[in-house]
Amino acid sequence: MTGLLKKKPKKLFYITRYFSIASAAAITVVTIILSVVFHLNAEHEVIEHKNQEDRFLSRSIANSIWPHFADNLLSASKQDASYLKESYITAEVRELLKMATVDLPAAQFKIYNLNGLIVYADNIKNIGNFSNKDDSSFKDARAGKATTKFVHRHMKKSFFKKTDQECLIKSLIPISRTPGKVEAIIEIVTDGSHLVALIWKKTFLAILGLLMTFGSLYGILMIIVRRADHIMEDQFTTLDRRGKVNRLKSTLLEREVLEREIAEQALMDSENRFRTLFDDSNNVILVIDPKKNKIIQFNNQAVNLLGYDSSDFKTLTIADIHPNDIKQVKQFLATAQSEGSAQTDKLHCSTKSGVLLPVELSASMIELDHRPMILMNITDISERL
Question: Is residue 23 within 8 Å of 29, Cβ to Cβ?
Answer: no
pLDDT band at 236 (very low <50, low <70, confident <90, very high): low
Query: So what's the pLDDT on residue 244?
Result: 58
pLDDT of 165 over the 60 cut: no
Residue type, 225: V
Highest mean pLDDT among 176-180, 222-226, 235-239, 369-373: 369-373
Q: Residue 167: which of 149, 190, 148, 151 has the closest Cα? A: 151
87-91, 109-113, 273-277, 341-345: least confidently modelled range: 273-277
Give the C-alpha separation, 12 to 7, whole Å. Answer: 9
Question: Is residue 71 within 8 Å of 185, Cβ to Cβ?
Answer: no
Q: The pTM is what?
A: 0.41
Helix (H, G, I), strand (E, B) or coil at 262: helix
Q: Tell me the per-residue pLDDT of 283-326, one tens digit each, with 9 for 90 and over.
A: 889 899 888 888 888 888 888 888 998 888 888 888 888 888 88
Query: So what's the pLDDT on residue 181?
Result: 83
104-108, 114-118, 126-130: least confidently modelled range: 104-108
Averaged pLDDT for residues 36-51: 78
Q: Which long-range contacts (CB under 8 A, 24 or more apart) does 129-134 make?
A: 129/81
Q: Residue 65 has what DSSP assignment?
A: T
Mean confidence (pLDDT) of the chain = 77
pLDDT band at 8 (very low <50, low <70, confident <90, very high): very low
- The helix or strand, by DSSP H or E, that contains position 222, with its residue range, turns out to be helix 193-241
Who wins on pLDDT, 214 or 274?
Answer: 214
CB-based contacts of 384: which residues, under 8 Å, 6+ apart? Answer: none
Helix (H, G, I), strand (E, B) or coil at 230: helix
Q: Hey, what domains does the chain have and what are their CATH numbers?
A: 27-200 (3.30.450.20), 246-384 (3.30.450.20)
Backbone angles phi, psi at 156, to 5 degrees: -80, -30
